[in-house]
């Protein structure tokens, strides 16, 4: 990670996941920058059999400018997942995600022990993920509308 700061790392992570980056969105809150790509063509609810698979997923990569313990990394994944689920429900999707979502947290190893929703870091993760996910879903919606118009 030392060779990659800011935007470079997640663009490499997402390379090939989203054609030409049309739905890549970023948001920053405090020490967290969230990079998100989203499509909801295969919505799923945790604990239920998913629908037949179609292309479309949510990929979240919070880049954290603080050193985290392994426990804090796990907290960061949980917090990002909670932010994703809340955003989907708030926007009217009857889903907790898709059948193929992915989250990768990027941070240096360090001493910060907690990243849950009651911490400053957790609040920043939640804000950044929610903002980037909402923007990515807007972009995704536009690409679907453009595709429908071009098929007329």
Residue 87: inside a domain, yes or no?
yes
pTM: 0.84
List the domain range (segments joined by +) for residue 27. 21-45+55-140
Question: In this structure, is residue 89 part of a structural domain?
Answer: yes
Contact residues for 15 (Cβ-Cβ < 8 A; gap 6+): none
98-117 burial code (b ≥16 CB/10 A, e <16): bbbbebbbbbeeeebebbbe
What would the pLDDT profile of 33-82 be if each residue is shown by its tens digit?
999 999 888 888 889 988 887 778 899 999 999 999 999 999 999 999 99
Whether 61 maps to a domain, the answer reads yes
The domain total for the chain is 1
Distance CA 67, CA 82 (A): 22
Q: Specify if 88 maps to a domain.
A: yes
84 domain-assigned: yes
Domain assignment present for residue 9? The answer is no
Specify if 146 maps to a domain: no
Tens digit of each residue's pLDDT (9 = 90 or more) over 89-132:
999 999 999 988 999 999 999 999 999 999 999 999 999 999 99
């Amino acid at each position: 990670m030392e060779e990659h700061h800011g935007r470079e790392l997640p663009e490499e992570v997402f390379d090939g996941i989203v054609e030409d980056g049309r739905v890549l969105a970023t948001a920053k809150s405090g020490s967290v920058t969230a990079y998100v790509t989203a499509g909801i063509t295969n919505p799923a609810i945790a604990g239920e059999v998913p629908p037949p698979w179609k292309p479309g997923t949510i990929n979240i990569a919070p880049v954290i400018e603080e050193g985290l313990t392994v426990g804090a990394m796990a907290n960061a994944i949980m917090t990002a997942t909670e932010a994703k689920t809340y955003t989907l429900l708030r926007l009217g999707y009857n889903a907790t995600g898709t059948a193929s979502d992915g989250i990768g947290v990027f941070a240096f190893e360090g001493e910060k022990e907690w990243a849950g929703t009651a911490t400053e870091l957790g609040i920043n993760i939640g804000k950044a993920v929610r903002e980037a996910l909402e923007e990515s879903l807007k972009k995704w919606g536009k690409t679907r509308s453009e595709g429908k118009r071009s098929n007329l």
